[in-house]
Copies of this chain bind each other. A is one copy, B any other.
Amino acid sequence: MSSSKPIRYSSVGETLEVPVINQLMAIPLEKPEVLSLAAGFTDNAALPVDLVTDIVAKLPETNPNNEFLQYGTTQGRPVLRKLTCDVLNNESSRSAPSFDPQNTYISNGSQQALFLATHTLCDPGDIVLVESPTYFVYLSMLQGLQVQPVGIPARDDGSMDHEGFRSVLSKLKEDGQLGRIKLAYLIGYYANPSSRCIGLEEKIGFAEVLGEFDIQIPVIEDGAYRNLFYETPNPTPSIMELDAFDPFPKLYLGTYTKPFATGMKIGYACCSESEWTSKMLCAKGNQDFGTANFTQAIIEQVMLQDRHKPLLNTLSRHYHAKAKLLHETLEASGLRNHGWHWDMPEGGLLLWMRAPEHVNTNMDGDFCEKCTDRGLSMFPATSVLPTNTQPILFA
């Protein structure tokens, strides 16, 4: 029943490649025997089953008139937006609120907000500044939108190399390409994949270098893993709260996906600009005119009943213990003596390893192949590096 003439795709449709995430997501579900250390799946054992079933059982009482099964607005539930901003503002070092429910919207995971932000800002051929390494799904998205990622160079310890960053911008300036830079994307806390947090001076330094080149592009900070700290919250304020970022339009992304339940897919985006917010909401109106109101209503009740914090404490302990076990197992294995490097993470779901130079950690390399043979799914280096720096692997 296939048609006889080939389909003529759009320019986007022609160049789309299968995102690595589509393959990785399928592994734990279709091959449960494989130990998947990729894709940031949460641990089924830590999912809040009792909490969710309890909240849902009481929704007919807490949310009268059946409204939790009705459509919501494109922007998302007002109370959930307010509670989300309240938590962020309460934890802020600034006295004035930096997060505004009016400029906040609920999205299908923070991923959708990342798409809406990039889609409203970037044309094919534009440049987005990203860390090295950065979130692999974002690199796929940029490929799909025909936007070029340019890496902010990193030092050996993983921190931003501001001097290297200056060189990158100088080169772009020489080539008359500075104007192509439309956006910067930073992952502030327990990043996927590096498990690093961006330090205070490191973050401010980034803003300063942009300032030196008179670049005032919008900056996105992805805080998806911020709440999953193991012992104490990372003290560095977000870009929304730092004076150094005042000149920049800003978007802060967070989520209730990983620090609540990955099956819910509720993310949020807090913007500093009402116009950009409105543009993203126009695009969301056209794409789905609102994220499922039912799942939003569940999380709203969790927040209203103050049951999120105890859950976060449980999750932090759970993932801390798992990270420690992985770290100690790796230490005991003697891998360090073979030239492997890693740090014990202080939060998040990932542990990031650097391989010795002679090990090819790309998807088609020996190493990944042997991992797969032994029932282990790892994440290859090639998918996270905007510029090819060195073989890196994370689990």
> Is the CB–CB distance between A49 and B69 below 8 Å?
yes
**How far in angstroms is the closest Cβ of chain B from A355?**
27
Given A69-B263, A71-B263, A115-B287, 19 additional A-B pairs, CB 8 A: A1-B98, A2-B273, A10-B122, A19-B282, A22-B75, A25-B72, A29-B72, A42-B70, A47-B66, A47-B70, A48-B69, A69-B261, A108-B291, A112-B288, A137-B289, A263-B292, A264-B292, A265-B292, A265-B293
Minimum CB–CB distance from A265 to chain B (whole Å) comes to 4
Residue numbers in B under 8 Å from A278 (CB-CB): 18
B10 touches A292 (CB 8 A): no
Chain B's nearest CB lies how many Å from the CB of A7?
5
- 0/1 string, A132-171, CB within 8 A of B gives 1: 0000010011001100000000000000000000000000
Please tell me if the beta carbons of A25 and B289 are within 8 angstroms of each other in the complex: yes
Q: Are B10 and A123 in contact (CB under 8 A)?
A: yes
Give A123's nearest chain B residue, CB to CB. B10
Given contacts A3-B248, A9-B121, A44-B67, contact A288 B21 (CB under 8 A): no
Is A59's beta carbon under 8 Å from chain B? yes
Do residues A290 and B25 form an inter-chain contact, with CB atoms below 8 A? Answer: yes
Q: Determine if A275 is an interface residue (Cβ-Cβ < 8 Å).
A: yes
* Inter-chain contacts of A289 with B (CB < 8 A): 19, 21-22, 25, 109, 111, 137
* A170–B248 alpha-carbon span in the complex (Å): 52
Q: A7-B275, A47-B69, A121-B7 are contacts. A25–B292 as well, Cβ < 8 Å?
A: no
Q: List 28 A-B contacts (CB under 8 A).
A: A3-B247, A3-B273, A7-B276, A9-B121, A10-B119, A11-B123, A12-B120, A16-B283, A18-B281, A19-B285, A22-B282, A25-B72, A25-B74, A25-B289, A44-B65, A44-B67, A49-B60, A49-B69, A68-B263, A108-B108, A108-B291, A140-B286, A144-B282, A145-B286, A263-B294, A265-B292, A292-B295, A294-B295
Q: Provide the bound-state CA to CA distance between A41 and B293, in Å.
A: 13
Give the total of A residues in contact with B, Cβ under 8 Å. 98
Q: Are B4 and A73 interface neighbours, CB within 8 A?
A: no
Contact between chains at A9 and B279 (CB < 8 Å): yes
Question: Considering only CB atoms, which chain B residue lies closest to A64 in the complex?
Answer: B44
The answer to whether A70 and B262 have CB atoms under 8 Å apart is: yes
Q: Which of A222-264 contact B (CB under 8 A)?
A: 246-249, 261-264
Q: Is A332 in contact with chain B by the CB < 8 A criterion?
A: no
Query: Does A312 interact with chain B (Cβ within 8 Å)?
Result: no
* Contact A290 B265, CB 8 Å, known A41-B70, A69-B47, A119-B10: yes
Report which of B68, B74, B115, B275 forms a contact with A286, defined as CB distance below 8 A. Answer: B115
A272 to B292 Cα, complex, angstroms: 28
Report the separation of the CA atoms of residues A52 and B52 in the bound assembly, to the nearest whole angstrom.
13
A286–B17 Cα gap in the complex (Å)? 10
Q: Judge whether A13 is part of the interface by a CB distance below 8 angstroms.
A: yes
Residue A5 interfacial (CB < 8 Å): yes
Q: Are A249 and B144 in contact (CB under 8 A)?
A: no
Please tell me if A216 contacts chain B, counting CB pairs below 8 Å. Answer: yes
Could you say which residues of chain B place their CB within 8 Å of the CB of A16?
A: 120, 279, 282-283, 286
Please measure, in the bound complex, the distance between the C-alpha atom of A272 and the C-alpha atom of B311, giving whole angstroms: 44
Check if A22 sits within 8 Å of B140, measured CB to CB.
Answer: no
In the assembled complex, the Cα of A392 lies from the Cα of B25 at a distance in Å of 47
For A17, the chain B residues whose CB sits under 8 A away are 282
